[in-house]
Amino acid sequence: MNKIIRQSVGIDVSQKKLDIAISGITDELEVSFSCKGIVENNRRGFAKLLSLVRKHSVGVPIVWVMEATGVYHEKLAYFLFEQNCQVSIVLPNKISNYMRTLTIKTITDKISSMAIAQFGLERKVQLWNPPQKIYQNLRHLTRERDQIVYERASIKNQLHAEKKQAYPLQSTIKRLEKRIKFLNQQELEIKSEISVLLKENPDVDKEVNRLTTIPGIGIITAVTILAETNGFELIENKKQLVSYTGLDIKEKLSGTSINGRPRISKKGNKHIRKALYLPSLAAVRSNEKYKSTYARIVARSGIKKKGLVAIQRRLLEVCFLLYKRETNFDLEYDKK
């Protein structure tokens, strides 16, 4: 009889329930499933899930794998981590790409949990650690501010359209202006909270100040990058960081008939990509090196956005290097 050498628990997460599948792989690389079921997505369901897995455990390492589904997976991830379980949170596109290799025609929550469990057995998954409290709070604040900025821009567009009408309604204009004023006040409050958090955490404040020595990188951008990467934890190299943010290049070439234009994958953290857009514009204006890089790419491709994406990628890589080397940005580095 073949011996099971590793087990995996695949969890398909939804708002109210968790579809689970417990699988194992033998020394002959054969995959089998010992249990499938459904539990509630709450503390009572988590306890039931833990008891069920322990019942089917055969004394080998177990990895718990789940998709990053909005915020619905977070409570379960924290619960399992507190129970000293090995947890891995995988981006949904990785699971969907893996499922295509299994030639699955019908996709249900049950089948998805089985595919996730098998993914955990056949792939080398990265274990998840909870973000530090400071980075978690900063992430909440930067995302809230981002939403406020988006909402304010939308209201400003409405206000502009209302004022340009032949017969604008003054009461509507006053309400729109009042909402803009309210959002401005909320943004100031968020910035104030960020400042307080940084003062209470001198080490993080020091890293933020280090990143802001890069031309174009401001405090909000630096805080966003650190918060979304948990202080570059588990980031081993620049290539991994670029892939994490979705700024990696995706090409589609096959034979002579398929010759797709290279694009960024966008399969990653959208908050960092968005935070780097305005800094890339500022960097092109203020730094000759970035300006020449941007001009060269635009001259070759004729696409301005492509040049800006290259600068965003460069800024992100420099942030990572400065953090790892614990040094400030030096304009004369190349000459030295």
pLDDT, one tens digit per residue, over 275-300 is 999 999 999 998 888 999 999 999 98
Residue 95's pLDDT is what?
Answer: 84
Q: Is the pLDDT of residue 151 over 50?
A: yes
Q: Is the pLDDT of residue 114 over 50?
A: yes
Give me the mean pLDDT over the 266-275 stretch: 87
DSSP reduced 3-state for 246? coil
Q: Taking the mean position of all CA atoms in its chain, how far away is CA 202?
A: 25
DSSP reduced 3-state for 35? strand
Residue 336's pLDDT is what?
Answer: 60
Instruction: Report how far residue 251's alpha carbon sits from residue 329's, in angstroms, rounded to the nearest whole number.
Output: 32
Residue 50's pLDDT is what?
Answer: 93
Residues 248 and 313 sit within 8 Å (Cβ to Cβ):
no
Q: Which two tokens stand for residue 292?
A: 């020449």
Task: Give the end-to-end CA distance of the chain in Å, rounded to a whole number.
Answer: 65
Give me the mean pLDDT over the 203-218 stretch: 94
DSSP reduced 3-state for 39? strand
Give me the mean pLDDT over the 6-21 stretch: 92
Give me the mean pLDDT over the 10-19 stretch: 92
- DSSP states of 28-72: T--EEEEEEEEEESSHHHHHHHHHHHHHT--SS-EEEEEE--TTT
pLDDT band at 333 (very low <50, low <70, confident <90, very high): low
Beta strands at 258-259 and 86-90: parallel, antiparallel or unpaired: unpaired
Give me the mean pLDDT over the 220-241 stretch: 90
Average pLDDT, the chain: 89
pLDDT band at 126 (very low <50, low <70, confident <90, very high): confident
Q: Is the pLDDT of residue 48 over 80?
A: yes
Residue 335's pLDDT is what?
Answer: 62
Instruction: Report how far residue 224's alpha carbon sits from residue 138's, in angstroms, rounded to the nearest whole number.
Output: 7
Left (φ > 0), alpha (ψ -120 to 50) or beta: where does 103 sit? left
Instruction: Report how far residue 199's alpha carbon sits from residue 192's, in angstroms, rounded to the nearest whole number.
Output: 11
pTM: 0.82
pLDDT, one tens digit per residue, over 167-183 is 999 999 999 999 999 99
Instruction: Report how far residue 108's alpha carbon sits from residue 116's, in angstroms, rounded to the nearest whole number.
Output: 12
pLDDT band at 113 (very low <50, low <70, confident <90, very high): very high
Residue 253's pLDDT is what?
Answer: 47
pLDDT, one tens digit per residue, over 308-328 is 999 999 999 999 999 999 999
pLDDT, one tens digit per residue, over 66-112 is 988 778 898 999 999 999 999 999 877 788 878 888 877 778 889 89
Q: Is the pLDDT of residue 256 over 60?
A: no
The CA–CA distances, whole Å, from 28 to 25, 32, 274 equal 8, 12, 46
